[in-house]
């Protein structure tokens, strides 16, 4: 899940036509696009991925807090039921994500 690769048809600058490409992500951040015929690869630098990750982190934190607030207001029983799990799993998810993004 950390580095899913998708195949899709894209226009290749080297081949001059649409060819199959491998598009690789680190979680939801684009890492590279490679032409599967000529192997031309366009990759983002780790620093670019780090900057984008850090830029999106506060927005994602605000969205998470807002979602939890709404869930606590509209479905308090479910919110309380899921809270211990979330308190356990969220730090693990964030540390896995940080590791994957920083070890690119």
Residues that bind Zn ion (CB under 5 A): 12, 14-15, 19, 35, 37-38, 40
Query: Toward Zn ion, which CB reaches closer, 14 or 96?
Result: 14
Q: How far is the CB of 94 from Zn ion (least distance, A)?
A: 37
Q: How far is the CB of 36 from Zn ion (least distance, A)?
A: 8
Query: Toward Zn ion, which CB reaches closer, 43 or 68?
Result: 43
Query: Toward Zn ion, which CB reaches closer, 42 or 72?
Result: 42
Long-range contacts of 85-93 (CB under 8 A, 24+ apart): none
Q: How far is the CB of 13 from Zn ion (least distance, A)?
A: 7
Residue pair 27/97 in contact by the 8 Å Cβ criterion = yes
């Amino acid at each position: 899940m950390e580095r899913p690769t998708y195949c899709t048809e894209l226009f290749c600058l080297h081949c001059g036509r649409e060819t199959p490409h491998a598009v690789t992500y680190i979680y939801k951040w684009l890492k590279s696009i490679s032409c599967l015929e000529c192997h031309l690869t366009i990759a983002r630098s780790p620093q670019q991925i780090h900057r984008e990750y850090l830029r999106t982190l506060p927005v994602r934190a605000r969205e998470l807090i807002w979602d939890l607030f709404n869930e606590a207001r509209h479905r308090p029983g479910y919110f309380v039921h899921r809270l211990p799990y979330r308190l356990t799993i969220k730090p693990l998810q964030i540390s896995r994500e940080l590791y994957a993004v920083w070890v690119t």
